[in-house]
Amino acid sequence: MFSFLFKKGHRVERLIYAYLENIKRSQESFANALRECFLHGERCENFEFYLQQTHKYESKADDVRQEINDLMYGKALIPDSRGDIMGLMAALDVVPHRFESILYMIQTQRLQLPDFLKVDLKALVDLCLETCDLLYRQTEALFQKSDHIRELLTTIDTNESHCDHFERTLITKIFDSDIDPFLKLQLKDLIVEIGEIANQADRVSKRINIISLKRRV
């Protein structure tokens, strides 16, 4: 296993799985924080706790990624493989950073989610996070030399297109409403930031597909 990338890379393999586990935990805390906002609005007392948990696991993921980079520079992998893995890790790292930045946006701007947006916004969030789950499966499939990479790529791409549709629907609803114009701009920026989760997952998925194709050459 991993013969296409590793010479002495079994430690790198274990660290990559640890990295993915921390991203998943960060995502879970992110989802819990948003659920608090959907359910309780101004009374989302647990939001701060989940924000800190999101930050905690994002920081742990950063630490693991740094350890992976140190091993890369220590020549645990052949040069071409180092470039592929380091590029993949850098692209993956955007995802948990976005979880954190979205929650800080809600916190610092004191954003309250209007009731008329909540159903569609929850659908957007759920689909973005489902797309991330598929991305984690695709990343694991890469290192397991699975045949499902292309299939996962197709599903991720489809999800990303559906997320774009939800974004447009939500932004249209925002600007058709009679809420404060400044709040409209704040909410539009929030919607775009959430949608970027799926966009980044799609970009990483395409990178994984390229790495998979290269190993067959």
- Span 107-158, pLDDT tens digits: 999 898 899 999 999 999 999 999 999 999 999 999 887 788 999 999 999 9
Q: Which two tokens stand for residue 207?
A: 């990178």
The helix (H) or strand (E) run that includes residue 26 is helix 10-40
Separation between Cα atoms, residue 26 and residue 194, nearest integer Å? 15
Q: Looking at residue 4, what is its pLDDT?
A: 43
User: Residues 201, 62, 123, CA angle at the centre, nearest 5°?
Assistant: 35
Return the higher-pLDDT residue of 97 and 5: 97
**Going from the N-terminus, what domains does the chain have, and what CATH number goes with each?**
10-215 (1.20.58.220)
In angstroms, the CA 121 to CA 209 distance is: 30
**pLDDT at residue 76, as a whole number:** 52
Q: pTM of the prediction?
A: 0.89
Report the range of poorest mean pLDDT among 15-24, 43-52, 135-144, 184-193: 43-52
Q: Is the confidence at residue 42, as pLDDT, over 90?
A: no
Q: Are 134 and 152 in contact (CB under 8 A)?
A: yes
